[in-house]
């Protein structure tokens, strides 16, 4: 991986740029619009949003106004918790396409496996949502489908009825929680592990040893952690609303972390929080 637009190949042959730009917690309106515009100007060609973020309108507008051809941008959105089910998922996907102002998504994910609303029959709801997503794949509304925040047991259930194996599992993945068992499961099923909150929602910056490693390479802590993510075979989705940091987060292809430093960073378990248990969420 030498540059931002280098790609991983998903299990259905679709190519996905190795770093994506995250928009979680970027407010609809100027904040989301300007950050996506800055990301595209900085060279990102992979943008990640979700219905739940409430910013699909602004993300879509920034993509359109960038002047970059649609086929040159990899765009992801996600099915929100209240819309699980066959008909519901179909409607939700159409609503996302409409807000984003695009005819297709490159990747569509089930955002959480076990929402509070459907806790009694989450397995069936996921199966029905997945069937709608498989149909969208057949009709060209989406190019790839996947999941987010799914643990092994949720994937096991989904695979009982799925015709298509998820291409991606987007999970909380950073030096504070490497979710080793889940990543191994993803790898064994040829499911790409995408890392949301690759910087541990900012808490990672408090680790002194990381600062020492970053100084050694003449890089920022964020650059080191994103590099670590790539060297682990993950796909990080850094988020920022500051143009200078957005640009800085792309400058991770001109150095390589040593094995010793990788090992040190792997040892920071729990220092910046752990992934939420999807069976205990309150939404």
Residue 53 falls in the annotated catalytic set: yes
- Rounded to the nearest 10 degrees, how much is the dihedral formed by the CA atoms of 218, 220, 222, 225? 30
Q: Dihedrals φ, ψ of 184, to 5°?
A: -65, -40
Give the gyration radius of the chain's Cα atoms. 18
Closest residue by Cα to residue 35 from 237, 239, 201, 241: 241
Q: Dihedrals φ, ψ of 48, to 5°?
A: -120, 125
Q: How far apart are CA 209 and CA 138, in angstroms?
A: 48
Active-site entry in 53, 108, 185, 196: 53
Beta strand extents in 88-236 (DSSP E only): 107-110, 145-148, 168-172, 192-196, 235-236
Closest residue by Cα to residue 76 from 58, 51, 98: 51
Token digits for 22?
């995250």
Residues marked active site are found at 53
């Amino acid at each position: 991986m030498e540059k931002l637009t280098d790609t991983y190949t998903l299990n259905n042959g679709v190519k996905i740029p190795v770093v994506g730009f995250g928009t979680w917690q970027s407010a609809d309106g100027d904040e989301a619009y300007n950050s996506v515009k800055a990301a595209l100007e900085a060279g990102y060609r992979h943008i990640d949003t979700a219905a739940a973020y409430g910013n699909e309108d602004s993300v879509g507008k920034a993509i359109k106004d960038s002047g970059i051809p649609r086929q040159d941008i990899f765009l992801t959105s996600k099915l929100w918790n209240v819309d699980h089910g066959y008909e519901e998922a179909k409607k939700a996907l159409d609503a996302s396409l409409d807000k984003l102002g695009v005819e297709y998504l490159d990747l569509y994910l089930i955002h959480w496996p076990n929402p509070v609303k459907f806790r009694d029959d989450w397995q069936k709801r996921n199966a029905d949502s997945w069937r709608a997503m498989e149909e969208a794949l057949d009709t060209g509304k989406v190019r790839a489908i996947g999941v987010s925040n799914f643990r092994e047991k949720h994937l096991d259930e989904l695979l009982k009825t799925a015709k298509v194996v998820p291409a991606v599992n987007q999970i909380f993945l950073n030096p504070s929680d490497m979710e080793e068992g889940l990543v191994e499961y993803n790898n064994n099923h040829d499911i790409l592990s995408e890392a949301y909150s690759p910087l541990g929602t900012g808490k990672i910056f408090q680790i002194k040893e990381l600062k020492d490693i970053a100084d050694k390479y003449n890089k920022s802590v964020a650059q080191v952690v994103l590099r670590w993510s790539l060297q682990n075979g993950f796909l990080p989705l850094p988020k920022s609303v500051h143009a200078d940091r957005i640009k800085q987060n792309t400058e991770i292809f001109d150095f390589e972390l040593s094995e010793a430093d990788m090992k040190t960073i792997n040892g920071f378990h729990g220092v910046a929080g752990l992934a939420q248990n999807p069976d205990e969420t309150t939404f």
